[in-house]
Amino acid sequence: MMSDLRDMFFEECDDLLEVLSTGLEELQNETSDAETINSMFRSVHSIKGGAGAFGLDRLIKFAHAFENVLDDLRSDKIEVDGTITALMFSGFDHLNDLVDAARDDNDLPDSDGAAVLAELKQTTQNANGLSGDEEEDANEVDSDDFVVQAMDFGLDLGGDDDASVDLPGLPSLGDDAPEGTTHFVVTFKAEPVLYTRGHDPALLFRALGEMGELTIESNRDAVAPLESLKDAPAAISWTLTLRPDDGIDESAIREIFEFVEGQCILQIAEVAVETPAEEVSATEAEAPAPVAEAAPAAAPAKAQAKTKAKPTPAKAPKAEKQEAKGGDGGKKSSEPRNSTIRVDLNRVDRLINLVGELVISEAMLRQSMNELPVSANSAVSEAIGQLKTLSGVLQESVMAIRAQPVRGLFQRMSRIVRESSRQAGKTSRLVMVGEATEVDKTVTERLVEPLTHMIRNSVDHGLETPEDRVAAGKPEMGTIKLEAAHRSGRVVISLSDDGAGVNRPKVRQKAEEKGLIRPEDDLTDSDIDNLLFRAGFSTADEISQLSGRGVGMDVVRSEIQALGGRINLQSEPNKGTTITISLPLTLAVMEGMLIEVAGESLVVPTVALRETLQPGQANIHDFCDGDRGLSVNDSMLPIVDLGEALGFRSPLPDFSNQSLLLIEGESGRRSALAVDGIVEQREVVIKGLEQNYQSIPGIAAATILGNGKIALIVDTDQMIPSPGNGNTGLLKGSEMAEVTSYV
């Protein structure tokens, strides 16, 4: 059980750290408000409280210092500026490290975070005018000196059965309430667990008192004699009568007590005052039955219930709930919260695989029915059509289960920007757009390394030094923008900076020195930019912590291609560089064009397809060495015989009987694929080959058709000839024969 609770705590930490990160971004962008600071404080406070349950002393100590600074921020003792924001981000980074270390049972070196902790404490001391010793005395609690103290509510336990409690700072609800006004009668009784977790009913009552005029009646009939209090349960209950301010409703009152739900018995009744001079008990007002072992308490005026009381059932306490503090019980939205459950990812994967098999089975059934002499309007055809629709909806719904916002991924990149900027001696900030864009979880996990490389390159090679930026008329702080959006059934992620752009003369010089190109080669700007993706290529003059080893952008392209995506780089001198990644929304299903080549069925992804030309429609030109080109819109595109490129057959003498597919690659270059015929466009389930066979040049994956046969999915990016040589670098002859025989 403790292991499960520990896992739950760290899962909650991930959510709380995400809330904290979002608040810090708003703080940096100057879009924060009081509730932003409150939510950040509650997140750190909840992490500290949960850490206390597992004895994570180092995490507790740091979170305590962090929340002290946040408390001073929300109390306006500290003014938000660049220094404080930078300190908050450093504190967030180390808090994240401490959570990860505790999760993995690792010990961080004592020096890690020591400077940040000292700075947090110093900030608190300066804000409160305390010396170091005074600050320690004010915040540290020595368990050996802890003594139970009785709380004095101003009650005389030996007096009357009912006593009116006046808490400091709470207005008193008099007997002159105007007729027809609405009051709320709240009956509250704490369970023992509420006290053992350090909550204080007085804080709850003070927060409630900020919503209007409040009177409090306590009932002590169930209080046991002093000599038998050792194991006695919590016995005091309270009846609170609130004359609310405008805009206060029952949901706002329940928000006050949400921090202790499951730790108390709570009943709320809305009543309308009729005769303010007479007194009537809460039970006469059809209020809810009094709590167990407690006598009914008197309300200050005669009332008649207008709505039924809604008792709050006992619920399991949530990790994000913590003690209410005065002023934190602000008015929140009364909209119902979305309920969520945590499911093991392997279960979701198995479900997705089963749905994929269902789609294949449906296609096979449809294929079989098409081969039978059954009328197109028969009941069987109609049922198959309905099955296809339902399987499609089921497939989309299951895929949506794995879809997650990229917010968590983007927030991780924010730290990479800060650390890279410190190492490079530059100042920069990350702007995030479209964080709510949902992507398959597997895709987001595999994007961490590529995005890390890209950001480090943007900081190290893209952004100028502060002095150079000022000299160029730019702000001293550079800006890196990370954006995500859905376009044409794919997710597009772009990373841009406002730096100096790609130094193309230097890139070309380095490429010539490494023998990647010849001095006489005529390269476009796009061709030069694509040299950055060559393995081992680097423009750095010396090796640093960020770059210079020639490992980076080639890894990025390999990872993106392995995900079935494309990557493109665009740069403008002195204005910056933008790298765009286009990825499938999911790695399980794709839209494809089914084609035939040399008797084999292949699938071309429609995302790369721009146009199709039937035999006789194409304007084909012959060149030397058997090369052929297609004239389209005053441009000449190379034609690739797909059957020859994949080793299915020898070169064709002409393409007069071939259909042509115009495809576009990651860099914007285009070419035409010559195929024997086009069958249809359909949705196919992707089956990877690498796990059981190997990576195959020119082939991205495979799928199972409705007739049960295997069809290879073409990697269109590798079907576009390289500039200058026309070579696709694919398998030939016997090598592809080995592949086809295997599948």
Q: Which pLDDT belongs to residue 723?
A: 57
Q: Which pLDDT belongs to residue 12?
A: 85
Q: Which pLDDT belongs to residue 562?
A: 75
Within 10 angstroms of residue 694's Cβ, the number of other Cβ atoms is 9
Q: Which pLDDT belongs to residue 398?
A: 77
How far apart are alpha carbons 154 and 18 in whole angstroms? 43
Structure letter (DSSP) for residue 461: I
Q: Which of 70-74, 283-287, 500-504, 564-568 has the lowest mean pLDDT?
A: 283-287
R_g of the chain, CA atoms, integer Å: 34
| Residue 370 clears pLDDT 70, i.e. is over it | yes
How far apart are alpha carbons 71 and 59 in whole angstroms? 18
Q: Which of 25-29, 130-134, 605-609 has the lowest mean pLDDT?
A: 130-134
Alpha-carbon distances, residue 427 vs 466, 569, 578 (angstroms): 7, 23, 19
Q: Which pLDDT belongs to residue 2?
A: 64
Q: Tell me phi and psi for residue 163, to 5 degrees.
A: -135, 135
Q: Which of 161-170, 205-214, 517-526, 690-699 has the lowest mean pLDDT?
A: 161-170
Q: Tell me phi and psi for residue 616, to 5 degrees.
A: 90, -15
Confidence of residue 411 (pLDDT cuts 50, 70, 90): confident
- Quick one: how far is CA 335 from the chain centroid? 22
For the stretch 642-665, pLDDT in tens is 988 888 888 888 888 888 888 887
Q: Which pLDDT belongs to residue 142?
A: 40
Mean pLDDT of the chain: 75
**Which structure tokens are listed for 483?**
């954006």
- Sheet order of strands, 162-165 included: 162-165, 212-219, 237-244, 182-190, 264-273, 303-305
Structure letter (DSSP) for residue 696: B
- Quick one: how far is CA 715 from the chain centroid? 30
For the stretch 525-571, pLDDT in tens is 888 888 888 776 766 555 455 554 444 677 788 788 777 777 888 88
| Residue 700 clears pLDDT 60, i.e. is over it | yes
More confident residue, 223 or 278: 223
Q: Which pLDDT belongs to residue 479?
A: 92
Confidence of residue 274 (pLDDT cuts 50, 70, 90): low
How far apart are alpha carbons 639 and 629 in whole angstroms? 5
Select from 231, 382, 216, 658 the least CA-distant residue to 390. 382
For the stretch 194-234, pLDDT in tens is 877 777 888 888 888 888 888 888 887 777 666 555 555 67
More confident residue, 198 or 114: 114
The DSSP code sequence of 582-625 is EEES-SSEEEEEEEEETTEEEEEEGGGEEEEE-TT---EEE-GG
Q: Tell me phi and psi for residue 638, to 5 degrees.
A: -70, 145
How far apart are alpha carbons 71 and 507 in whole angstroms? 51
| Residue 162 clears pLDDT 80, i.e. is over it | no
Q: Which of 157-161, 410-414, 569-573, 663-667 has the lowest mean pLDDT?
A: 157-161
Dihedral sign, Cα of residue 318, residue 319, residue 321, residue 323: positive
Mean pLDDT, residues 346-368: 79
Q: Which pLDDT belongs to residue 540?
A: 59
Q: Which of 91-95, 440-444, 709-713 has the lowest mean pLDDT?
A: 440-444
How far apart are alpha carbons 70 and 52 in whole angstroms? 19
Q: Which of 115-119, 389-393, 532-536, 557-561 has the lowest mean pLDDT?
A: 532-536
| Residue 295 clears pLDDT 50, i.e. is over it | no
Q: Which pLDDT belongs to residue 358?
A: 82
Q: Which of 257-266, 378-387, 446-455, 716-725 has the lowest mean pLDDT?
A: 716-725
Q: Are strands 428-433 and 403-405 parallel, antiparallel or unpaired?
A: unpaired
| Residue 165 clears pLDDT 80, i.e. is over it | no
Q: Which pLDDT belongs to residue 548?
A: 45
**Which structure tokens are listed for 496?**
């841009």
Q: Which pLDDT belongs to residue 498?
A: 92
Mean pLDDT, residues 89-103: 90
Q: Which pLDDT belongs to residue 578?
A: 92
Q: Which of 171-180, 305-314, 488-497, 601-610 has the lowest mean pLDDT?
A: 305-314
How far apart are alpha carbons 121 and 69 in whole angstroms? 8
**Which structure tokens are listed for 651?**
């070169």
Q: Which pLDDT belongs to residue 690?
A: 66
Contact 468, 582 (CB under 8 A): no
Residue 167 buriedness (CB in 10 A; 0-12 / 13-18 / 19+): middle
Confidence of residue 728 (pLDDT cuts 50, 70, 90): very low
Q: Which pLDDT belongs to residue 483?
A: 93
| Residue 496 clears pLDDT 90, i.e. is over it | yes
More confident residue, 339 or 366: 366
Structure letter (DSSP) for residue 312: B
How far apart are alpha carbons 432 and 411 in whole angstroms? 8
Q: Which pLDDT belongs to residue 699?
A: 84
Residue 54, amino acid = F
Q: Which pLDDT belongs to residue 654?
A: 81
| Residue 735 clears pLDDT 50, i.e. is over it | no
Select from 222, 224, 225 the least CA-distant residue to 236. 222
| Residue 5 clears pLDDT 90, i.e. is over it | no
More confident residue, 341 or 38: 38
Token match 């995500």: residue?
Answer: 484
Confidence of residue 62 (pLDDT cuts 50, 70, 90): very high
| Residue 23 clears pLDDT 80, i.e. is over it | yes
| Residue 159 clears pLDDT 50, i.e. is over it | no
Q: Which pLDDT belongs to residue 57?
A: 87
| Residue 252 clears pLDDT 60, i.e. is over it | yes
Structure letter (DSSP) for residue 279: -
Q: What percent of the chain has pLDDT over 70?
A: 74
Confidence of residue 247 (pLDDT cuts 50, 70, 90): confident
